[in-house]
Structure 1
Amino acid sequence: MPAQTLAARPGHWLWTCRAGFEPHLYEELEWAGANPRLLGEALVESEDVPSPPPAFARAGYRVVTSLTGRTPEETAEEAARAVMALPGRGPRVVQAFTPDTPRGNTLTAPAEALEAAVRARLPSERLLDDAQRAREAGALLVGLCVAPDGVTVVGAVPAREALSLAAGGRRRMKRAGESPSRAAMKLEEALDGLAFEPGRGDVCVDLGAAPGGWTQRLVARGARVIAVDPAKLMPELAANRRVQHVQESAFSYAPEEPVDWLFCDMAWRPLEVAQLLAKWGRKGWVRHLVANIKLPMKDKNPVLLRVRHTLREEGGWEGLTVRQLYHDRDEVTVTAHRMK
């Protein structure tokens, strides 16, 4: 890790990640031939965008310019000029963020001030305030990364190609008071990134459901849930008419008929979980998949390669995404679908 934050180079890509996962993101980009460079805590640069996108990246922006040694006024002026010079006539979503680290979080106030100053210098008709509408509006996401050591990076990415619509990929979900665990927030963030989500009339299977964090959020959406776990659910869920509790192992359970969604958040060995999810895809038991896969302390990238291969080649899952989301820790969230 460099002693001080390095400025990202224009034309390259700036990636944000969870603090402590820079080596894993760097290795992932290196394996993809993207020529990465560590910039500082939670920040990695690369020359190219790999395919598939890096699992350990929360967000990625093509660098427009890096500003160092400027006053706040000068930084705002130069950043605004850079945004105005971006190609395309569509709307812009301007978002300032800091690296998700102790040092980065001390810069929240300057980042908010920079965002306000840049927005004030741009024509209001070119700005889109609702980031959640950015994809349908064909907007450009503009990221203003305010980093330690006086480094500010201006980057941009079309919203339809963005890993996340949240500034810097930090999609904070509110923890509902009745939710039993952090698991509910992981699910909410995973569903937030999908084009559609389970709703009224959908049948969902929740493998490893107890105590019921994911089942609870699915029922709140109007879905019917088959909760599979030998352990007990929360009493209010066990009594819910739209919850069927099957008290058996997730590895031995088979649905009586195909279902709409498969959810899985089990603290189990990742390759065994991947093989289980592949079985559901191969047998045509379900159309949509959302799963959380725990990672080992070491060799995370080799395990992820095997997980991807298992789901694609053995399970036939399509549209596979593997991402470490904001609410994930030593884990990744997987989404995929099967054609009829």
Structure 2
Amino acid sequence: MPPDTLPAQPGRWLWTCRAGFEPHLFEELAWAGASPRMLGEVLVESEKRPAEPPAFARTGIRVVASFLAGQPSEQLAQSIASRVTEAVPTGPLVLQSFTPDSPAGNRLADEADAVLEAVRTRLPADRLLEETWRARESGATLVELCVAPGVVVVGSVPAREALSLSPGGRQRMRRPGDAASRAAMKLEEALVSLPFEPGRGEVCVDLGAAPGGWTQRLVARGARVIAVDPAKLIPELAGLPRVEHIQESAFAYTPEEPADWLFCDMAWRPIEVAQLLAKWGRRGWATHLVANIKLPMKDKNPILLRVRHILVEEGGWQALTIRQLYHDRDEVTVTAHRTS
């Protein structure tokens, strides 16, 4: 890790990740032949964007310019605005700023906000899209200002190609007051990234459901949930007409009919979980998949390669994504679907 954050090189890609996972992101990019370079905490640069988005990347932007910190704020803001106008001459923009998600980076939050506002006033107001959620449908370009210790990096990416629409990929979800555990936030973040979510009346199977964090959020969406776990669910779920609790192992359970959605968040060995999910895909027991895979302390990337192979080649799951989301810790979130 460099002692000070290095400036990013224009034309290359800047990636962010969870603090401590820089070596895993670097390794992914190296395996993809993307010539990575470690810039500092949370920040990794690469020569190109791999065909498969890196699992450990929260967001990725193509670098437009990089500035050393310390110059007058007015001059910096004008320089950034000029480069943004040159790099993205037409079309709507979503302008955001972020700091690296590290102790040193988080101390710069106020500075990042100030830079953002100064740049915003120097761009045409009619180009700035305020409703970030409309960025993809509007064909907007996501422009991000990364304010890191000693460096300000400007980058952009078409919103339709962005890994996340949240600044720096930090999609913070609120924990509902009645949530059984923090697992609810992981599910909410996973569903935000999908073009659709479980609808009213759809059948969801929740493998390893106890204590019921995911089941609780699915029921709140109007879904019918089959919760599979030998352990008990929270009392709030007992007796609900749209919850059926099957008290047996997820590995032994066989559904009576195909489900619309398969959900899984079990603290179990990743390869065995992947094989279980592959069985569901191979046998056509579910159409959509959202699962959380726990990772070992070592060899994370080799394990993810095996997980991907098992789910796609053995399970027949399609459009597979593997991402370490903001609310994930030593784990990744998997989404996929299958067609009959």
Q: TM-score range by the shorter chain?
A: over 0.9
Q: Structure 2: how far apart are the matches of 1:121 and 1:239?
A: 58
Q: Structure 2: how far apart are the matches of 1:254 and 1:119?
A: 55
Aligned-residue offset at 1:72:
1.8
The RMSD of aligned alpha carbons is 0.7
CA deviation map 1:146-197 (0-9, x unaligned): 001x200000000100000100000000011110111000000000000000
Supply the AA of the counterpart residue of 1:284: G
Q: Structure 2: how far apart are the matches of 1:9 and 1:170?
A: 23
1:266 matched residue in structure 2: 266
1:215 matched residue in structure 2: 215
Supply the AA of the counterpart residue of 1:307: V
Aligned-residue offset at 1:88:
5.3
Q: Structure 2: how far apart are the matches of 1:77 and 1:222?
A: 50
2:133 matched residue in structure 1: 132
1:58 matched residue in structure 2: 58
CA deviation map 1:310-329 (0-9, x unaligned): 00000000000000000000
Aligned-residue offset at 1:5:
0.3
1:92 matched residue in structure 2: 93
2:15 matched residue in structure 1: 15
1:118 matched residue in structure 2: 119
2:148 matched residue in structure 1: 147
CA deviation map 1:12-60 (0-9, x unaligned): 0000000000000000100110000000000000001112110000000
Q: Structure 2: how far apart are the matches of 1:54 and 1:308?
A: 13
Q: Structure 1: how far apart are the matches of 2:72 and 2:55?
A: 36
2:224 matched residue in structure 1: 224
Note closer, same or farther for the CA distance 1:88–1:205 as it changes in structure 2 (3 Å cut).
farther
2:234 matched residue in structure 1: 234
1:35 matched residue in structure 2: 35
Supply the AA of the counterpart residue of 2:229: D
CA deviation map 1:88-143 (0-9, x unaligned): 52210000000000000000001011111111111111000111111111110001
CA deviation map 1:226-262 (0-9, x unaligned): 0000000011112211000000000011111111000
Aligned-residue offset at 1:75:
1.5
Aligned-residue offset at 1:272:
0.2
Aligned-residue offset at 1:85:
1.2
Supply the AA of the counterpart residue of 1:32: A
SS where residue 191 of structure 2 aligns?
helix
CA deviation map 1:252-276 (0-9, x unaligned): 1111111100000000000000000
Q: Structure 1: how far apart are the matches of 2:51 and 2:249?
A: 35
Q: Structure 2: how far apart are the matches of 1:117 and 1:17?
A: 27
Aligned-residue offset at 1:71:
2.1
2:296 matched residue in structure 1: 296
1:102 matched residue in structure 2: 103
1:82 matched residue in structure 2: 83
SS where residue 322 of structure 1 aligns?
strand
1:73 matched residue in structure 2: 74
Q: Structure 2: how far apart are the matches of 1:9 and 1:86?
A: 14
Aligned-residue offset at 1:86:
2.1
Q: Structure 1: how far apart are the matches of 2:253 and 2:91?
A: 49
Supply the AA of the counterpart residue of 1:100: D
SS where residue 3 of structure 1 aligns?
coil
2:180 matched residue in structure 1: 180
Supply the AA of the counterpart residue of 2:84: V
Q: Structure 1: how far apart are the matches of 2:63 and 2:182?
A: 34
Q: Structure 1: how far apart are the matches of 2:200 and 2:87?
A: 42
Q: Structure 1: how far apart are the matches of 2:273 and 2:329?
A: 17
Any unmatched runs of 5+ in structure 2?
none
Deviates more, 1:95-104 or 1:119-128: 119-128
Q: Does 1:24 align with 2:20?
A: no
SS where residue 85 of structure 1 aligns?
helix
Aligned-residue offset at 1:87:
3.5
Supply the AA of the counterpart residue of 2:256: E
Instruction: State the aligned residue count.
Output: 339
Q: Structure 2: how far apart are the matches of 1:176 and 1:141?
A: 29
Q: Structure 2: how far apart are the matches of 1:199 and 1:319?
A: 20
Q: Structure 2: how far apart are the matches of 1:62 and 1:191?
A: 26
SS where residue 110 of structure 2 aligns?
helix
SS where residue 45 of structure 1 aligns?
strand
Q: Does 1:159 align with 2:164?
A: no
Percent of aligned pairs with the same residue? 72
Q: Structure 1: how far apart are the matches of 2:226 and 2:11?
A: 49
1:286 matched residue in structure 2: 286
1:337 matched residue in structure 2: 337
Supply the AA of the counterpart residue of 2:42: A
